[in-house]
Amino acid sequence: MSNVISGHEGDQWKTHASKQLNYGQEMRFIDGRRYRYAKAGAVAVVVAKLYQAPIPVTNHVLRTPSAAAVGDRTVTIALGATAAAEDAYLDGYLVVDLATNTGFGHIYQIANHKAIASSGSFAVPLRSAVQVAISTQATSVSLIPNNYNGVILAIATTPTASLAGVAAAPFAIGSFGWVQVAGNCMCLTEDNGAVNVTEGYQLIVGGTTGSLMPQATAVSLTVPEVGICVRAATTTDYSTVCLTRIE
């Protein structure tokens, strides 16, 4: 069974009030357009704008875990002073990111979970077994949401999380729909100082929230490339863009 859904024109506009697929489920069209299943974050998703993953929560990263042995299917961590909503980390990841923890460098996907109170003890359910024992090393384990669980408009100029893609259709706060990750789409574009939006040019995250602009300045060195302009619209309108670099 393929992990990829074969879709057809029109499927990209379907939205759901309740979750029907895993976050990040891929849907692929014959012409190269690809989409991933996403949940809208705290603001409704609007069509043809660039979205990013939710920002990691400060009080949920670099936390201290209880010891977990090889084969364990839960890892308990002490949250900081921010509650975790039910399924906030469903399809997301527990990562051991300090080299001083014996279990460093491993990433485990998280299953569905209940809400956890601020500063509570979170027994994080994993989809697979712990591979290398995780020690009680202080502030060494983090929770990372799935890139498509609560997408938000891409922050202008300096992204604050991984890019998710371009919205194919609007969907309401907390509901579910498709974000495009490859192939031709429409996206808000703007000129970039000396360089106008031009067919064939490389586009990066723009200076306006949710937009793209031509790659031209030093910021290009730190901001990821997103795609190539297929048909240029006037600045602040919607260009046709071939997404090539999101994944």
Partner 1 sequence: MPKNDQSVVIEGSDGDQFAVHTVQSLGHGQEMRFPDGRRFRYARAGAVAVVPGKLYQAAIPVTNHVLQTVAAAAVGARTVAMTLGGTAVTADQYRDGYLVVDLASNTGFGYIYQINAHPAQTASSTFNIPLRSAVQVAIATTANSVSLVPNNYAGVILAVVATPTACIAGVSVKAIPIDNFGWIQIAGNVPVLCTGTMVIGTTAITGTTTGAIIAESAAASLTLPVLGYINRVAVTTAYSTITLTGLE
In the complex, the residues that contact partner 1 under the rule CB under 8 A are 1-2, 4-11, 13-14, 20, 27-32, 46-49, 169, 182-186, 188, 195, 198-202, 214-217, 220, 225, 228-231, 233-234, 236-240, 242-245
Of residues 41 and 214, the one with the C-beta less far from partner 1: 214
Residue type, 60: H
Burial class (CB in 10 A: 0-12, 13-18, 19+), 126: middle
CB of 125 to partner 1, least distance (A): 26
DSSP annotation of 56 reads P
Question: How distant, in Å, are the alpha carbons of 104, 171, 227, 239 from that of 230?
Answer: 43, 26, 9, 8
User: Among residues 136 and 236, whose Cβ is nearest to partner 1?
Assistant: 236
Q: Which residues contact 31 (CB under 8 A, 6 or more apart)?
A: 183, 184
Shortest distance in whole angstroms from residue 239 CB to partner 1: 7
The nearest distance, CB 54 to partner 1, in angstroms, is 23
Alpha carbons 183 and 170: distance in angstroms, whole number? 19
**Quick check: 243 and 181 in contact, CB under 8 A?**
yes
Nearer to partner 1, 106 or 245 (CB): 245
**CB closer to partner 1 out of 95 and 242:** 242
Residue 80 Cβ, how far from partner 1 at the closest point, in Å? 38
Structural contact between residues 159 and 234, judged by C-beta atoms closer than 8 angstroms? no
Choose between 14 and 73: whose C-beta lies nearer to partner 1: 14
Is the Cβ–Cβ distance between 196 and 237 less than 8 Å?
no
Q: Which residue has the tokens 């591979």?
A: 131
Min separation Cβ 185 and partner 1, Å: 6
